[in-house]
Chain A
Amino acid sequence: MFQPPANQDDLAESPDLKNAFLELWNRQSPNLENEVNYMGDFVTIAADNPNFVDPRKTPAIGDSAGVPWNGFPRLLSRYYQDTTSEAARARAEEVAEILTPVVYWFVQRGDGTSLRSALSYQLPLYASNDLDLDELLQIARPLRALLPGDVVGDEILQYRRQQDEYLEWHVNRNTDGTLRRIAFTAEPPDYWRALAEVAPDRVVELYREHVDQQIQKSDLFYPDRVAVFGRFANGSHGWLEVPSFGGQYNALNPWTTTNGVMHLTHGANTLGAEVQLAGDASVPRSVDSLPVTPGQDPAPEILRIACGNYGGINRSSDPNIGLAVGNQVHKGDRITLTDPVGLYIAKIDLNGLSGPNGEPLGPVAGSVTRGHDDPFEPRILRYVVELPTGSNFTLSGCKFDNRPLVRGAQIAREATVQLYVNVYPGSADGNAAGCVGRPCRHPDNGQIFGVGDNQGNCPSIDSPRWLTATPYEGANEGAVPKMGPSDWQEPEKRVLSKDAVSVPPKRGYIWNNREY
């Protein structure tokens, strides 16, 4: 059976729950519509991709190999060209810690109802002939609780981080604003959803242990009934209940977004995405056979990720993973992700942390609180930076790499994240697929890439597709769509539409505009 990331044994005390968890984690139910199968997805992806092996069917031999990448969001480094000045460097770090609002909407059509979510500032990406941007801006808004009597209640505000290298962090501050603690995580939300499914109380316990002792269960789970706003088949707008959300674990709850961090929140930072990426990257591509000219431009990892249209082209992680997998396959080998499949902090280097009088704090300020360290195969899930109790200064009085410590992002620059791969020598299917796309550079900032079609047509400078390579810099009247219109009805008048049809049951959540 596939194990959870780092073999984390959160249900050691309850063997029954542990069994239930493992069963859920490994469940493969391809016939159940819209079910999220966790590691069952792994099996499906392996079945679809001959070079991506199911290690339970064909056990891996030999040691795993790590594929590393730097934990600081490379997109932000590119966007702000942060090697050019201290100001640019600080700006990239500042933006890295801005959370982006998430909005939802539904559209009901004759043949069914779709539920979608998006980062609010990226809504232009979702406009279409059928649903133009003006209407989309009107209807897209946070989910709301549904109260007795079908009265629509408070907003369920949700945010995602812009930290997309499978590493996210949160800074806790003291009441006077000084830094108290920085927590880094590489835990995927997939694990926490599955854990919440079988052992919701254990989830609350763990949040209390690691994030904040005062957390209530209701903070972490959706209310019993949840409603989404959108457009009905007849063109009118109104609220619709989403039965599958009611009572479910809220993977974007405040304690893993605005008020703390327990697991990853970025839309692409999931185990499912990681597995999908490895599977996609294991498809041999025509570009793999092209002779590489020393100094070719664009570089092989950029060429390949555009060719296969997998992952985020501007990241450190995805091009790295894609090229590593692609090279291995091109060499003639098949690959798998080593069980326990996960994304792991390999190392966070705190040697640059010093106190007000130069006290070296590296050895005392960091601790692994979930997962484990190891010389060869570290699988750190959670790493906390905090001064020992009794320190007569705070982290705000410290320097990190000769700069005043003001953000967790400074430390993220010294983080290495990795996944582990096993290689099956010499059995690869070498039939190379053609390319789906080619890399394009943004006309104004040549360090930002997009993916154009295979004929060399690139998105125009005002194409909304560049939004996925554009950071969110915070609420800005002109640039960002408002979250919902300002003409709210009074709460007691916002009633669930009587002729509404409930959205069919779905498990899980929306990722990348795909419904699960």
Chain B
Amino acid sequence: MADEPVLEIDDIQGHILVGFRGKHQRILGLKLGSENIGDVRKALLPWVGRVTSTARALDYRTAAKVQKAAGAAAAESETVLVAMAVTSSGLATLGAVATLEDPDFLEGAGKSAATLRDAIDPKTGVPVGWRFGDVEEKTPDIVIVFGGDLESAVSAESDLLLSDLGSNALKVVDEWGARIPGEKEHFGFVDGLSQPAPRGLLPDGSPFVHRTLPGGDPAAEAYARPGRPLVWPGQYVFGYASELADSFRPGPDSGGGQAFLKNGSLLVLRRLRQDVEAFRDGMGKLAGDFVAKGIQVSAETAAAWCVGRWPDGSPLTLAPSAADPAIAADEYLANGFLFAQATPAATLDLPDGTMKQFPGSPGDQEGYSCPYFAHVRKVNPRDEQVDFGGSGITRQAQMLRRGIPYGPVWNGVKDDTDRGLLFMSYQTSITNQFHRLIKRWVNDTFAPLRTSGIDPLIGVAVAPGRALTRKFADKNQVRTLLDGNWVRATGAVYAFAPGITELRKLIAGPTS
């Protein structure tokens, strides 16, 4: 830990490293009038001061925890946190001299629809059914995320920005997200339980992510807590050491030393519409396929197999037959596992100063408990060997996820309501992180490991269906095809969230 860098938490945006935990978010995407860019700059510059830094987001999070621990009724704060990011067209409009070399960022999210297997026009490749980001006219120059507990506060703040810009900006993205009770997503599963732990220090020298494993434990070098790997922060923020694939030593600066990139990150925003009824039907059909092959399983279990966790969040690896609320309720247990190997017991040193006995957890190398095709295993193979190499590849590929659901919760009645996930992730390489996970792992039958099958939750089924292979301890493996898609993109933007200093320079423009 001695050589971990100090993170410039006053400059790195808080949405990247901490996230916005509030109940509501509004995402605005604006095209800026280039003819009157001076007016745009004048209107936007004060808002740079409103962008929440990591330091501020940490303070806010601490305050919220203190309040909760003190047993105070969850007083809803009026605080609104803000993030701001710029697309490649936005960089041009704002007259940025420097830019990024990431081709996926430069081309814009619409140009990546085909490669991610979104529905596209077969002649032009333009994505079909997108509310934004499909064509240039509907691609914003800047994206602003507002997050807070109170919808009215978020609304007021974001409306103020819109009115400040007035006719100097055209709104092309206006999305509202709201947390579902229990931190669930619309299919009914707890989401966001697993995030990598960025290495790095706070200005006072303490680690940014608390280390629970005692110093003498060999796993302490690589894990912040059981099941949560430490990753060099350059994977998420430019200007810091990156993760090497085969070593725990720090790699080169992910920003290549470029001042413009320092403390910034790349934001992937994808509006994913979820068809809950189709998912339920699909899981019923999948269960039926297994039953026909002699495996007695319910639709609920089939769904858990597809996700890798039960709806309450307890992981299949630790709870193979039924949900385990005790595990689900314990954040150290719920994510405290690996796949290839068992995780040893340990005495954990918690952030509040208390000690906790972690009982250890079994592995699941054969995929008997958690099938290889389960979503959590497809996108996070943890300590397993993968098609590119070892677990270091997985550490390189992970992203910080900041998504929030949108739309009303499904009430069991067939409807045509648009609901889903405003997926957001931060990474410093779209190619090697977000795209690698989706293209090479989610949408590939044969990766990351063995014949797993295309991800049955978010992967795109290709005819004749996702080729899923389920292994069992006490009987032969079962192969089955699962057709049907229940997640589809309805809008996407790739943007660059600069460090606040660089953001200010960018918005202010060249000094006269």
Contact = CB atoms under 8 A, between A and B. Distances in A.
Interface of A: 62-63, 65-70, 74, 77-78, 81, 83-86, 291-302, 316, 319-320, 323-324, 327, 331, 346-347, 349, 351-352, 354-355, 357-360, 362-363, 375-377, 401-403, 414, 416, 418, 441, 446-447, 449
Given A84-B252, A86-B103, A414-B439, A69 B396 contact: no
Nearest to A295: B222
Contacts of A296: 218, 222
| Shortest beta-carbon contacts, A-B, top 7 | A295-B222, A299-B390, A352-B115, A375-B467, A358-B125, A402-B103, A294-B219
A86 B101 contact: yes
A360 B120 contact: yes
19 contacts: A70-B387, A74-B388, A85-B101, A86-B102, A294-B222, A297-B248, A299-B391, A301-B390, A319-B385, A320-B385, A320-B387, A349-B440, A349-B443, A349-B444, A352-B439, A375-B481, A376-B451, A401-B115, A446-B246
Nearest to B220: A295
Given A354-B125, A360-B125, A401-B103, A294 B446 contact: no
Given A66-B451, A446-B249, A402 B218 contact: no
Given A84-B242, A295-B248, A375-B445, A301 B124 contact: no
Interface in B187-213: none
B500 to A, nearest CB: 25
B389 interface: yes
Given A299-B392, A402-B107, A323 B125 contact: no
Contact of B341 (A78, A292, A316, A418): A292
Contact of B431 (A68, A363, A401): A401
Contacts of A359: 123-125
Contact of A68 (B107, B122, B343, B450): B450
A13 to B, nearest CB: 32
A74 B386 CA distance: 13
A67 to B, nearest CB: 7
B504 interface: no
A291 B217 CA distance: 13
B285 interface: no
A167 to B, nearest CB: 12
Interface string B85-122: 00000000000000001111011000110111100101
Nearest to B218: A293
B429 A83 contact: yes
B383 A294 contact: yes
A389 to B, nearest CB: 18
Interface residues of B, number: 74
A418 B451 CA distance: 10
Nearest to A74: B389
B41 interface: no
B247 interface: yes
A85 B120 CA distance: 30
A426 to B, nearest CB: 12
Nearest to B463: A375
- Candidate in B115, B366, B390, B432 with the most chain A CB atoms within 10 angstroms: B115
A68 B447 contact: yes
B396 A83 contact: yes
A376 B477 CA distance: 13
A351 B388 contact: no
Interface of B: 101-104, 106-107, 111-112, 114-117, 120, 122-126, 218-219, 221-223, 226, 229, 242, 244-249, 251-252, 254, 256, 338, 340-341, 343-344, 365-366, 383, 385, 387-392, 396, 429, 431-432, 435, 439-440, 443-447, 449-451, 464-465, 467, 469, 476-477, 479, 481
B386 to A, nearest CB: 8
Nearest to B338: A294
A360 B383 CA distance: 36
A295 B122 contact: no
A300 B383 CA distance: 10
Contacts of B389: 74, 299, 301, 316, 319-320
A446 B247 contact: yes
Contact of B451 (A65, A85, A349, A363): A65
A291 B345 CA distance: 13
A414 B440 contact: yes
Contacts of A316: 387-389
Contacts of A85: 101, 256
A85 B106 CA distance: 15
A346 B453 CA distance: 12
Contacts of B445: 346-347, 375-376
B388 A416 contact: no
A402 B254 CA distance: 20
B435 A347 contact: no
B465 A375 contact: yes
A152 to B, nearest CB: 47
Nearest to A377: B451
Contacts of B387: 68-70, 316, 320, 416
A222 to B, nearest CB: 38
A294 B125 contact: no
Nearest to B341: A292
B451 A447 contact: no
A83 B341 CA distance: 28
Given A81-B252, A299-B246, A300-B385, A418 B446 contact: yes
Contacts of B365: 327, 331
Contact of A300 (B115, B116, B390): B390
Contact of A358 (B126, B219, B221, B256): B126
Nearest to A62: B476
A474 B87 CA distance: 40
A416 B218 contact: no
Contacts of B429: 83
Contacts of A323: 385
Nearest to B343: A294
A295 B383 CA distance: 8
A515 B433 CA distance: 44
Contacts of A302: 246, 390
Contacts of B431: 401
Given A70-B387, A294-B223, A447-B247, 4 more contacts: A63-B479, A294-B226, A376-B467, A446-B244
A324 B385 contact: yes
Nearest to A418: B446
A292 B103 contact: no
Nearest to A416: B446
A386 to B, nearest CB: 18
Contact of A295 (B221, B246, B385, B388): B221
Contacts of B226: 294
- Candidate in B242, B245, B387, B469 with the most chain A CB atoms within 10 angstroms: B387
